Structure 1
Amino acid sequence: MATMFAKLVSLAYSPRYLLTTNTATMCLIYGTGDVIVQLVDSHRQPPYTTNIDWKRVFRVGAIGMLHGPMNHFWYGFLDRAALRGSQRVIVAKKVASDLAASPAFAVAFVTGLTLLEGNSIREALLEYKQKFIQIFTLDACVWPPAQAINFWLVPPAFRVLFVSAVVLVYSGLFSAIRHDDHEPVLEVL
């Protein structure tokens, strides 16, 4: 049984199937993160029900169809980039590049969800603008340390898998920000 599992993992993370594996992993993790958020939210206020909005879970999970390939190709690009310096300097450059790219990933998440909910691109961009500070603060707290570990210790084929594990927590927090209907503390112009 263990040998069969090892063969399956080896095949799934081979160059031939890596994009598919990364995409499927992101879909599953995003959906799972949203289920966790809904369960936590349902137990914070009466009537303490555990009704899950499965359409919402599907929509959040479907964003993995976008983010899986984005992550796959982004990490491939960073690994092929001709970055110079010691390993520490290269990791620092990759972490900085990743943080600089985080708004593109966040706008894809918010826009994708807003469109899947039947709203317009204009509404999606307005929502992103309103929640930018919260989203970027979350990105700045989570991704630099996570990506330092990722770029320093994780083999390239497993980088999206590692990110997916971090995304389990991150997507829950991101989904909570995304589905928070309260006015943001700071208005972004």
Structure 2
Amino acid sequence: MSFGKMYQRLLQNHFYLVQCIQTASLMTTGDCLAQLAIEKRTFKQYDFRRTAEFAFLGGVLVGPAVSAWYILLQRQFGHERNLRTTLCKMCCDQLLFAPMFLVVFITSLELIHDSKPGHIKQAFKNTYMDILLTNWKVWPAVQMVNFYVIPLQYQVLFVQAVAVFWNTYLSWKTQN
């Protein structure tokens, strides 16, 4: 059996589990790139806990949330691949989901670090608007392609493949 057929079978039988594992893997990759390529850390300086935190959030938060969100968008706006449906999905994604999900993501990351409420508030003040504005520079175009071209079962994979670079940015931005 080819890898593609095996992947499709796994998606059919274990949709959320596959999304969680692939998202955790790709978020791990993003954090590794942030630490090694952007921050220029050596192996001795490498923060393995930070990578584990990104993997954990990818597997238990990002993967399930994004998967459920795309299913909800599909139910709400249908399966049609036309400009109107694609624009509706993208606008909902970027004006509703993205701003709220960034709040959840930043809060979750701070809670993993056992941050106090004042520190969480400061983290929002320091990072939220920059991340949200950068999000709006990157993701509307990606989501237009995603919702117009990519079948539902591959949308999380497509987004997470693009998100390797986004996760690199998020890791760097939230950790520095």
Bigger-Rg structure (1/2): 1
Deviation at 1:121, TM superposition (A): 4.5
Equivalences for residues 119-158 of structure 1 within 5 A: 119-158=115-154
Deviations 1:9-32 (A, max 9, x none): 122221x31111111111111111
1:164 matched residue in structure 2: 160
2:50 matched residue in structure 1: 56
Deviation at 1:144, TM superposition (A): 0.2
Q: Is the 8 A contact 1:19 1:72 kept in 2?
A: yes
Deviations 1:91-110 (A, max 9, x none): 11111111111012211221
Correspondence 1:95 to 2:90: yes
Counterpart CA distance in 1 for 2:26 and 2:117 is 25
Unaligned runs of 5+ in 1: 181-189
Correspondence 1:77 to 2:72: yes
Which one has a larger percent helix, Structure 1 or Structure 2?
2
Greater Cα offset, 48-57 or 143-152 = 48-57
Q: What one-letter code is carried by the residue in structure 2 that aligns with 1:55? A: R
1:12 matched residue in structure 2: 10
Counterpart CA distance in 2 for 1:39 and 1:99 is 30
RMSD (Å) for aligned C-alpha atoms: 2.0
1:114 matched residue in structure 2: 110
Q: Which has the higher contact order (CA 8 A, sep 6+)?
A: 2
Q: Is the 8 A contact 1:42 1:49 kept in 2?
A: no
Deviation at 1:124, TM superposition (A): 2.2
Counterpart CA distance in 2 for 1:105 and 1:97 is 12
Change (3 A) 1:34 1:144: same
Q: Is the 8 A contact 1:115 1:121 kept in 2?
A: no
Counterpart CA distance in 1 for 2:148 and 2:85 is 9
Q: Is the 8 A contact 2:28 2:55 kept in 1?
A: yes
Q: How many corresponding residue pairs? A: 173
Counterpart CA distance in 2 for 1:49 and 1:23 is 29
Deviation at 1:125, TM superposition (A): 3.8
Deviation at 1:86, TM superposition (A): 8.0
Counterpart CA distance in 1 for 2:81 and 2:173 is 37
Sequence identity percentage? 25
Q: Is the 8 A contact 2:77 2:85 kept in 1?
A: no
Please report the TM-score for the alignment, with normalisation by the length of structure 1: 0.84
Deviation at 1:40, TM superposition (A): 1.7
Q: Is the 8 A contact 1:150 1:159 kept in 2?
A: yes
Deviations 1:55-110 (A, max 9, x none): 01001111111011100110000011046x98101111111111111012211221
Q: What one-letter code is carried by the residue in structure 1 that aligns with 2:74? A: D
Matched position secondary structure for 1:55: helix
Matched position secondary structure for 2:42: coil
